[in-house]
Every structure is written in structure tokens, then in C-alpha cells.
Amino acid sequence: MEISIIARQALLYGHIIAFALALATILKEDVRLLRAQRIDSTSLLATAKLVKWVLLALWVTGVPMVMMDIGTDVSLLLDKPKLLAKLVVVGTVTLNGILLHLVAFPMITGKPQNPNKAATIAATLGAVSTTSWLYASFVGAARIVAPYFSLYDFFIFYLLVLAIAVPLAILVVRGRLQRLLMSSYSLTNTSARQGYSLSVALLEAEIARLALSDIQRRLRTKHSAQQFSARETSSVTPRTPAALWTEALRDGMYTARPNRSESGFPRRAGGASLTH
């Protein structure tokens, strides 16, 4: 078996796997978006990134197979309407994917100023994307009808499908996307207001805590000052004879019947008088 045959079969197998993965991912994301209560930006961007790499894989595996069929003579494509139709559809998918990444996704994942316009653009490009992928699968499986279809027939059928899908998406899907965008925008504003209210409440609580700490500090300072003032007052107050007499009795330095001096102060044993 020739190497070229094995290589062509490997490229075809990889091409089919990449196409199946892309189609399944796109249909799954479309269904999820239509059933969702709000737009999940993370899931949408992750799906877009996956489809981008899968589309690159389609080009990487498809171009070598085309080169094996026609070589470098591009005019041979005119004799292969099915292959040319497939190239046109894949080119349309690529261009539409670029517009989705640059225009539609930023509008529906951000905060659109005009939700109706954003929903219309997203619905239109989404309809072109889904229709093109489905039509590409039809062209790839059109072995039975391909001999009866000219290039003109493939193009007319593709345009007819687009003419049905795009207005239907605008009439049905656009309203759904618009409601999702407005709901997501309202939830974002509500979350922002709640976050602002929580920040204000935390700030007020911190201010109250600081004020309470300041009051407690002032009370402790005032109390300490009062205690210090009381001790100073007690230390400078002159002691009365009764206080001296009580102190002498406590020290046990007096006789049973102490004599008093002329000044009224008690005398110690031995006749010595107390002095201040």
C-alpha cells in the first residue's frame, strides 16, 4: 500500500473527527443558550475557543487532501462542484467565526448600550454559523445526490437555507437573546448595588468601632487621671491626732496608758514626744 493512501486516510479520519466535534459543540452551545436563564460568558467564550481550534484542524487536514486531488492546478476545482461548494462553506464559516469573535461575543458578554442591536447581530451571525455547519455536513455526506448537483445547485440550495434560517433566528431567537441580555445586565447592576451597600455597611461598622475604641480610651485616661489625683490628694492631706494615735496603736509602740503632751500628741515610752 502506498504511503500517500495511508496519509490520505489519516487526514480524512482526522478531518471527520474535527468536524464532528465542532458540529456537536456548536449545537450543544446553541441549545444551552436558548434554555439558559442568563448568559454564561465563561461557557460561551470557552466554546468559541474550542471551535476556533477545531476549525484550524479542519483547514490543516482539509487543505492537504485538496492538494492531493488537484495538485497545483486550481482550475480543476471547476470540475469538482462538491469540493468547491465545501470550500466555499468552510470559508464562510471561518469568516463568520471571525465576526462572532470580534463583534458578537464582546457585545453579548459585556454591557451593551443597545440590547436589541446586540441581540440582532448575535442571532444573525449565530444562524449563519449553525446553518453553514449543518450544510457542510450535508455536502460531505452528499455522495448520492452529488452527481446530480452542479455548482450552481449547491450555491442556490445553500442560499435558500440561509434565507430561511436568518429571518427565523431574527424572529424567534433575537427576542430570547434580548431578554437574556437585559436580565444579565439587571443582575449585574443589582450585584453591583448590593456590593456597594455591603461596602458602605462595612465602612460604617469600622467607623463605629473606631469611635467606640476612642471613647473607651478617653474613659480609661480620665479614670487613670482621677485615680492619680485621688492618690496625690491623699498623700498631701495632714494627719490628725486621731490618725496618729491609731497608727501608734497598730505599731505597738505605746504603753497601756500613754501620756499626752501639751500639744495634744501622744508621748512614746521614755518621754519622747512624737513629731511630724
| Domain boundary assignment for the chain | 3-198
Q: 260 pairs with which residues across the strands?
A: 266
Entry field: residues in the chain: 276
Query: What sign does the CA torsion over 161, 163, 164, 169 have?
Result: positive
Global pTM reads 0.63
Sequence-separated contacts (24+) of 182-185 with Cβ below 8 Å: 182/115, 183/37, 183/38, 184/38, 184/39, 185/111, 185/112, 185/115
Pick from 82, 173, 181: nearest CA to 130? 173
CA distances from residue 92 to 5, 86, 87, 170, 196 in whole angstroms, order as listed = 29, 10, 9, 19, 46
Question: For residue 270, how many C-alpha atoms fall within 13 Å in the half-sphere facing its CB?
Answer: 3
- C-alpha cell of residue 22: 465542532
- C-alpha cell of residue 168: 427565523
| CA–CA dist 189, 184 (Å, integer) | 9
Give the pLDDT of residue 234.
55
- C-alpha cell of residue 75: 482550475
From first to last of its 276 residues, what are the pLDDT tens digits of the chain?
578 788 888 998 999 999 999 999 999 988 888 787 777 778 888 888 898 999 999 999 998 888 887 777 777 777 888 888 988 999 999 999 999 888 888 888 777 678 888 888 989 999 999 999 999 999 988 888 888 888 889 999 999 999 999 999 999 888 888 888 777 655 444 444 555 556 666 777 778 777 777 787 777 777 777 776 666 665 555 555 565 556 556 655 544 444 444 444 445 444 444 444
